[in-house]
Amino acid sequence: MTDRLRMRSPDQRITRSPDFLVRQLIRLLLAALLLASACAAQKQPKEQVREPAVAGAFYPADAKQLGEMVDGFLAKAPDIQGPLVALIAPHAGYPYSGGVAAHSYALLKSRKFARVVVIAPSHYEAFRFVSIYDGDAYATPLGRVPVDREFARKLAAGDPRLKLSGRAHVAGTGAGPSQEHALEVQLPFLQRTLPGFKLVPVIMGEQDYETSRALGVALAKLIGKSSDTLIVASSDLSHYHPYDQAVQLDRKALNAVTAWDYFSAAHNFQRQVWEACGGGPIVAAMIAAERLGATEARLLQYANSGDVTGDRGRVVGYGAVALMRASGPKPAEPVAYSLPAPEREALLQIARRSVETAVRERKLYDPPRPALDTLAEERGAFVTLKRRGELRGCIGYTSPVTPLYLTVRDTAAFAALQDPRFPPVPAAELKELEYEISVLSPLRRVTDIQQIQVGRHGLLMKNGADEGLLLPQVPGEFGWNRKQFLEGTCEKSGMPANCWQSDDTDIFLFTALVFDEHTATPPTQPVSGGSQAPPESPGR
């Protein structure tokens, strides 16, 4: 027992065979590798892919059938030449809108873009910002489209209203895709025409002018002089009107787009005077494209669901538009507007009767619908009232919200009774009133103040909620030069006189057809004028 319990001396060694030591070392290495793999798995999250939500509903879920359908649409649509910056395309089910959408995407047959920013509206979820997808890819039956995450991150940093988010891209729980279709349905067309592109998925929860502007400006700054990025605005037009009414509504919206009057388009989309579920994306794309050099909007195709189904009772409108850099000189102003003498005389008569009815009977004059189609066109206009040569009231609509004859009817009555700078016109003054009407052209943003011609152009200034307008006649009355005209418009807008120099201020110019009761033709030198901020606001 004593020998068994005896302690070993320090010089005694416990020995093991070489095979045993090797096996132990291998076990330790394997354990370390397993531990490293587990840590790496924790640090690398699963790839976020927005799976298709409307495959099998808006378009075929089978990849072969989908490819054949898209290719069939594209084969029937022509390509056009010119430097392309952005597209507008519809987003309804392919059997209804695919033929129209193909007219936009056919332009990509001969062009290459490395990146596509698709801007779509949110149909199902309400939120007050622009949601830029924070995931890794969007998927369709044709495969995955990788998200350009670095571009998306930089875009979101461009304005507080833009955020990296899954809102409207994925379901609220994050468990799967949301049912939002407006962005998804654009992707198969892009996959068939631009293989290898990266996607920047953008969904607008808020579509007002300021949000659209924030997105458009941020996009233009980020894209800069590069020509490898395409912008796509996803939007249908009017919804569920009888065929003829839908065509009229859609033509008004498309006319504003092709006239490059995105300010009036934004105003009328917001007020639902015109209809476009993606009005914000359209305006944002135009603002970005303009700052990237585009000046021309080409209408490629228009149709509605009634043209496909034959059901003309309740239809949805679709338009395909290309926003392009003009090959020639940039247009400095909108196309001038004109009216023959009979139409001008009819409008002056409507203005006078409207004021007399409003003053004497305290009701709105109900004029018969004019036989002249030009008076039924929607136009912005101002009515200026003078008494003994002095201003007595001036109010107008900057945007074409109603037919011209009704715009004159409304603004004449408002000028007589609702201009806050003057007391309401009494019946005793009616015989002394002089009438002047200014019919506005579409508005176009000033990109160089040298474009402004004093005496020919009116100006509208907008910066956030501040907005104001001066008619072309005003600088002539005060003897202003261009700089004074700009400063006067700033002050009319309630802003500092130098507001026109701010990058946050948009300056729009327009022309006006001005006539009064003493001229058979528009005066060569304007004799009176007014100004206004929002519709139904006082002028001058």
Question: 289 and 156, same structural domain?
Answer: yes
Q: Do 515 and 345 touch, CB atoms closer than 8 A? A: no
Q: Spell out the alpha helix ranges (H) of 292-340.
A: 305-309
Question: 289 and 349, same structural domain?
Answer: no
Residue 537 predicted with pLDDT over 80: no
Question: DSSP state, 55?
Answer: B
Q: Which of 324, 359, 383 is the C-terminal boundary of a domain?
A: 324
User: Per residue in 302-345, pLDDT tens?
Assistant: 999 999 999 999 999 999 999 999 766 555 567 667 899 999 99
Question: DSSP state, 519?
Answer: -
Question: 345 and 320, same structural domain?
Answer: no
| Residue the block writes with tokens 């332009």 | 107
In angstroms, the CA 434 to CA 438 distance is 14
Domain residue limits at 530: 341-538
Question: 320 and 356, same structural domain?
Answer: no
Label residue 332 exposed, middle or buried (CB < 10 Å: 0-12, 13-18, 19+).
middle
Do the domain assignments include residue 279?
A: yes
Do the domain assignments include residue 42?
A: no
Torsions phi, psi for 64 (to 5 deg) = -65, -45
Q: Which of 271, 295, 324 is the C-terminal boundary of a domain?
A: 324
Do the domain assignments include residue 299?
A: yes
Question: DSSP state, 225?
Answer: T
Question: 215 and 99, same structural domain?
Answer: yes
C-alpha distance from residue 265 to each of 272, 274, 443 (Å): 10, 8, 10
Do the domain assignments include residue 34?
A: no
In angstroms, the CA 131 to CA 206 distance is 10
Question: 310 and 362, same structural domain?
Answer: no
Residue 13 tokens read as 């060694």
Do the domain assignments include residue 37?
A: no
User: Per residue in 163-218, pLDDT tens?
Assistant: 999 999 998 766 678 999 999 999 999 999 999 999 999 999 999 999 999 999 99
In angstroms, the CA 200 to CA 98 distance is 22
Label residue 321 exposed, middle or buried (CB < 10 Å: 0-12, 13-18, 19+).
buried
Q: Which of 260, 294, 324 is the C-terminal boundary of a domain?
A: 324
* CATH assignment of the domain containing 465: 3.30.700.20
Question: 220 and 72, same structural domain?
Answer: yes
Residue 4 predicted with pLDDT over 90: no
User: Per residue in 21-60, pLDDT tens?
Assistant: 656 666 666 666 666 555 555 555 688 999 999 999 999 9
pLDDT, residue 370, reads 86
Q: Spell out the alpha helix ranges (H) of 272-340.
A: 279-291, 305-309
Do the domain assignments include residue 22?
A: no
* CATH assignment of the domain containing 126: 3.40.830.10
**Which span out of 300-314, 329-343, 371-385, 517-531 was modeled with the highest average pLDDT?**
300-314
Number of folded domains that form the chain: 2
In angstroms, the CA 368 to CA 351 distance is 13
In angstroms, the CA 461 to CA 476 distance is 19
In angstroms, the CA 195 to CA 114 distance is 9
Do the domain assignments include residue 35?
A: no
Question: 243 and 355, same structural domain?
Answer: no
In angstroms, the CA 182 to CA 276 distance is 12
- Residue percentage of the chain with pLDDT more than 70: 85
User: Per residue in 121-171, pLDDT tens?
Assistant: 999 999 999 999 999 999 999 999 999 999 999 999 999 999 999 999 998
H/E stretch holding 460: strand 458-463
In angstroms, the CA 502 to CA 167 distance is 33
Question: 397 and 510, same structural domain?
Answer: yes
Question: 206 and 252, same structural domain?
Answer: yes
Do the domain assignments include residue 331?
A: no
| Averaged pLDDT for residues 513-525 | 66
Question: 298 and 440, same structural domain?
Answer: no
Question: 255 and 221, same structural domain?
Answer: yes
- pTM listed for this prediction: 0.86
pLDDT, residue 112, reads 95
